[in-house]
A and B are shown apart, each in its own frame.
Chain A
């Protein structure tokens, strides 16, 4: 499968602190790629580097076939992005926010926008700053999908959400357009497990594993100490990650 996103020895250091060290990953087109790791593992840094929000210290990344440092409006109009830290214009009303976004994207689907706004029950006249954290994430998602992005990047989209809101958001991905690739970073391992087709584990800025879910199960059997296996003979993401992290710590 061709890659929609690749990195080669991508590194980022903040002073003496190496936030990301020689990361090489490849996200296949059409996949749901889960970038997993504990807080501070380097997930958000990876995404900021991919979107050219911060420059890399070393290495390269390409996204939709373009070097990340050359990303322009053409590429960004094909990428949806949702982050728990996204600073949406707090003083705009919800309807004004959509009025502002629509002209930015040539492929904006107004019917899809209406459907998302209805499904997420977004109050049109409420100011964004007055929305709850969960509603703001839904709003960000409702603003990231109507232009049918080729790549959707989600940075901790489930963090701090209640169970109902998580379910709503996950449901919106499950019925997604199969042409859309998703890169999701999260430390919510159980929730992401329902979606992911591919997984990468990061630990303290280093890549511990990347591959398909099937490859992960294969890999899990070789781990010492072995991860917990469920009744169906599968190791959960959580147990695999814990086993890998412990192994890395021992080394």
Chain B
């Protein structure tokens, strides 16, 4: 029977399928045409609308095929036909696989191969991407469609779920503050995402089972709403996420890195910041960026702060760093304790030190600075007996590959990087290094410009910790990333040995880093009055 249902649905929907495939082709072509540097202006302009059309077309096909034989309701023709419900569901799934996933696979395969990736690698990544799209996008849409009778109901349900999700996020942010999403914005966020996707898939399977086996639409709708709330509130605790991540890498006990408060480097100054790191305007800006969690955090800070916060510089000595390696700070948890060990104040992610200049790599020991913002009333109430403890969650990254590429018009292929190209932009002020990768993206990389005489010039780097194994992007098989290298450095930070006339004979040395291991360290500082900061020896624990 599956074949007959498929044939019937094809007769009804082939025009929509053709349109959807055309949009897939257009998007794939557009992504390819837009190149590495946005050379094709029209292709770039079309990218966003095509991306939206791509999502809409897939949702339309998946929804339409389910709604040919809707599950809710009492008047559908299929209810009185001798059809097995499993056949009906199988036919719908097969239809989507044949008309959405299969063309997507072929296009992604061709796209990756056209970029220069070998067939087996292209096929492997395209197949995984299609599997991921099926699990995270298509099956949930199938579940939504199976719970509704027509497109109007589906849009209403979708809008309701979005509102439920948004309200839950807002409530979660107000009630739990930054702990509302402990892994958000960190390198281990992928674990939370993976769990959410697994939950989404499992929930969708339960809804499909409820609908196609029992036609329990009310129960399915309740489950969908509960699922939207659970997506917000079921968050992986930070410690569990980091512990899980740690188990995936090199044993933490083998990492020799130490961290200590550097009393000699302490400036001893503490001063009002002049700015409130939590305020209505910052919250508004965060909201405009769509970052609800951060907006809520700003508002919370504003709510509990009665004065301008006091900023304190905390110099940290990082030592025993293996040669060429770098240390990333994933999270810091600050606690102010009274003499009896009672917690006076806690703050999560209190401005952890940023990732170090790659030029620091190779040094065994270097200095990093953390700026602490303490609420005025807390700062005022502190005395000599107040202790400060900061727990650090850190990652050691090691170089995974170094590659040389011509500064202008160069191209480079590397397993970590994908396919890269360099280009001098029209104003001749910036070298663009752009890479397209299928598969896992590097999260830390740097590029150093070398002149014709071999002298190093400016170094630029990017590091956005993301320790995920490979999870593909949804809409296209390849991802674009890269660096901008200003010539000359407009901030005059670098000492310039290369001028633009020499760029044709210059090259970039591109260095990629990969996570080697994750570890935790704690720094404890006794007697931490702000005005005497640096006057006492810190106690360091490893």
Is A73 within 8 A of B84, CB to CB?
Answer: yes
CB-defined interface of B409-452 with A at 8 Å, one 1/0 digit per residue?
Answer: 00000000000000000000000000000000000000000000
Cross-chain pair count, CB within 8 angstroms: 54
Is A53 within 8 A of B79, CB to CB?
Answer: yes
Complex Cα gap A195–B327 (Å): 89
CB-defined interface of B391-425 with A at 8 Å, one 1/0 digit per residue?
Answer: 00000000000000000000000000000000000
Is A92 within 8 A of B11, CB to CB?
Answer: yes
Q: Which of A23-31, A75-83, A163-171 contacts B (4 or more CB under 8 A)?
A: A75-83
Are A103 and B1 CB-contacts (below 8 A) given A87-B75, A89-B8, A92-B8?
Answer: yes
Is B82 within 8 A of A104, CB to CB?
Answer: yes
In-complex Cβ contact of B77 among A72, A75, A86, A91 (8 A): A86
Nearest opposing residue in chain A for B76, CB measure: A87
* Most chain A beta carbons < 10 A, residue from B77, B81, B84: B77
In chain A between 92 and 147, which residues have their CB closer than 8 angstroms to a CB of chain B? Answer: 92, 96, 99-101, 103-105
Is A73 within 8 A of B83, CB to CB?
Answer: yes
In-complex Cβ contact of A79 among B12, B75, B77, B80 (8 A): B80
Nearest opposing residue in chain A for B5, CB measure: A100
Is A77 within 8 A of B8, CB to CB?
Answer: no
The smallest C-beta distance from A85 to any residue of chain B, in angstroms, reads: 5
Instruction: Name the A residues within 8 Å of B11 (CB-CB).
Output: 92, 96
Nearest opposing residue in chain B for A51, CB measure: B80
Asked whether A54 is an interface residue with its Cβ less than 8 Å from the other chain, the reply is yes
CB-defined interface of B55-95 with A at 8 Å, one 1/0 digit per residue?
Answer: 00000000000001000011111011111100000000000
Is B4 within 8 A of A104, CB to CB?
Answer: yes
Complex Cα gap A77–B84 (Å): 11
Nearest opposing residue in chain B for A103, CB measure: B4
Is A76 within 8 A of B75, CB to CB?
Answer: no
Chain B interface (Cβ within 8 Å of chain A)? 1, 4, 7-8, 11-12, 68, 73-77, 79-84
Chain A interface category by residue count: 20 to 34
Nearest opposing residue in chain A for B77, CB measure: A88
9 A-B pairs closest in CB distance: A73-B82, A77-B82, A76-B82, A81-B80, A100-B8, A87-B75, A85-B75, A103-B4, A91-B12
Is B75 within 8 A of A86, CB to CB?
Answer: yes
Chain A interface (Cβ within 8 Å of chain B)? 48, 51, 53-54, 72-77, 79, 81, 83, 85-89, 91-92, 96, 99-101, 103-105
Complex Cα gap A101–B76 (Å): 14
Given contacts A76-B83, A87-B76, 10 further A-B contacts (CB under 8 A): A48-B74, A73-B82, A76-B81, A81-B80, A86-B80, A96-B11, A100-B8, A103-B1, A104-B4, A104-B82
Nearest opposing residue in chain A for B3, CB measure: A103
Complex Cα gap A88–B78 (Å): 9
Q: Is the interface of A mostly helix, strand, loop or mixed?
A: mixed
Instruction: Name the A residues within 8 Å of B81 (CB-CB).
Output: 76, 101, 104
The smallest C-beta distance from A146 to any residue of chain B, in angstroms, reads: 13
- Could you write out 9 A-B pairs with CB less than 8 Å apart? A73-B83, A75-B82, A83-B75, A86-B75, A87-B75, A100-B8, A101-B81, A103-B1, A105-B82
Complex Cα gap A88–B81 (Å): 11
Instruction: Name the A residues within 8 Å of B79 (CB-CB).
Output: 51, 53
Complex Cα gap A100–B69 (Å): 13
The smallest C-beta distance from A105 to any residue of chain B, in angstroms, reads: 7
Nearest opposing residue in chain B for A54, CB measure: B74
Instruction: Name the A residues within 8 Å of B12 (CB-CB).
Output: 89, 91-92
The smallest C-beta distance from A157 to any residue of chain B, in angstroms, reads: 14
Is B75 within 8 A of A104, CB to CB?
Answer: no
Instruction: Name the A residues within 8 Å of B68 (CB-CB).
Output: 89
Complex Cα gap A195–B11 (Å): 39
The smallest C-beta distance from B333 to any residue of chain A, in angstroms, reads: 53
The smallest C-beta distance from A104 to any residue of chain B, in angstroms, reads: 5
* Most chain B beta carbons < 10 A, residue from A75, A77, A86, A89: A89
The smallest C-beta distance from B19 to any residue of chain A, in angstroms, reads: 15
Instruction: Name the B residues within 8 Å of A103 (CB-CB).
Output: 1, 4
Instruction: Name the B residues within 8 Å of A88 (CB-CB).
Output: 77
Nearest opposing residue in chain B for A144, CB measure: B80
Nearest opposing residue in chain A for B87, CB measure: A73
The smallest C-beta distance from B212 to any residue of chain A, in angstroms, reads: 14
* Most chain B beta carbons < 10 A, residue from A74, A88, A91, A100: A100
Complex Cα gap A89–B4 (Å): 14
Complex Cα gap A81–B8 (Å): 20
Is A100 within 8 A of B4, CB to CB?
Answer: yes
